[in-house]
Amino acid sequence: PPERKRFYQNVSISQGEGGFEINLDHRKLKTPQAKLFTVPSEALAIAVATEWDSQKDTIKFYTMHLTTLCNTALDNPTQRNKMQLIRAAVKFLETDTICYRVEEPAALAELQKNEWDPVVAWAEKRYNVAIGSSTSILGPNIPASTKETFVSHLASYNMWALQGIEYVITQLKSLILSMGLIDRHITVEKAVLLSRLEEEYQIQRWGSVEWAHDYDLCELCARTAAGTLFVHLCSESSTVKHKLLQD
């Protein structure tokens, strides 16, 4: 499909009944399903406006991750309710990247142990749960009580923040790394590195198609950073108008 040209001069935000809106010249931004684009946080609105104002001649939607996240929250195209979203997120624990260990090669097994064990230990302590790790192809055996703890914890987030959390988990393929980010225990760069530990190891051993590697890495960093920022901006009590958020 041909790229959309930038058709607006000025980008601004304004406050309406439903929250903060984005104005492209005199037009109000709408979602793909033609709903009025409104966000509950002013900081988030500013960041979205910045995405639109950063477009030069053509609009590169693949760079506008915050806009995309807001559209998903507003349109809810997969039509999932809060509990379905939570269960989808917690289900990832069964195949969590940092719980799946190799036995060979020894160097990789060692790297996984050194890099991933501390994060698992952090999560176990922080949430008072048992997680562990496994070299079995079936993955770790996560106790039901552990899953229920995470379900309860995620239930404390509103629907918008949950969309963001589930998005980050899908990108990193790890619930634990995502919680590490949400709880500000690790940075985005670290979370992405830990998520891609095996790839990075193989690349150091075997080399890579350089641009493809950097391309994937940048894209994952961008999406993960956007998702994390989105979650925090949607759950800060000082910036969010809670009555505008629908649970």
Partner 1 sequence: RADPRHASDRAGRPYRETPAYQHIVAAFRAHRVTSEKLCRARQELHFQAATYLCLLRSVRQHAALHREYHGRGERSPEEVAGLVGFRLPQQPGGKG
In angstroms, give the least distance from the CB of 146 to partner 1: 26
The answer to whether 132 and 140 have CB atoms below 8 angstroms apart is yes
The smaller minimum CB distance to partner 1, of residues 117 and 183, is found at 183
67 Cβ partners below 8 Å, 6+ apart? Answer: 48, 51, 52, 61
In angstroms, give the least distance from the CB of 79 to partner 1: 28
In angstroms, give the least distance from the CB of 226 to partner 1: 5
The smaller minimum CB distance to partner 1, of residues 6 and 173, is found at 6
In angstroms, give the least distance from the CB of 190 to partner 1: 10
Amino acid at position 106, single letter: A
The smaller minimum CB distance to partner 1, of residues 46 and 151, is found at 46
Applying CB under 8 A, the residues found at the interface with partner 1 are: 13, 42-43, 46-47, 49-50, 53-56, 60, 62-63, 65-66, 184, 187-189, 211-212, 214-215, 218-219, 221-222, 225-226, 228-229, 232-233, 236
Among the listed residues 173, 163, 156, the one whose alpha carbon sits nearest the alpha carbon of residue 228: 163
160 Cβ partners below 8 Å, 6+ apart? Answer: 40, 73, 230, 234, 245
The smaller minimum CB distance to partner 1, of residues 47 and 99, is found at 47
The answer to whether 109 and 102 have CB atoms below 8 angstroms apart is yes
The smaller minimum CB distance to partner 1, of residues 9 and 79, is found at 9
In angstroms, give the least distance from the CB of 63 to partner 1: 5
In angstroms, give the least distance from the CB of 134 to partner 1: 31
The smaller minimum CB distance to partner 1, of residues 110 and 183, is found at 183
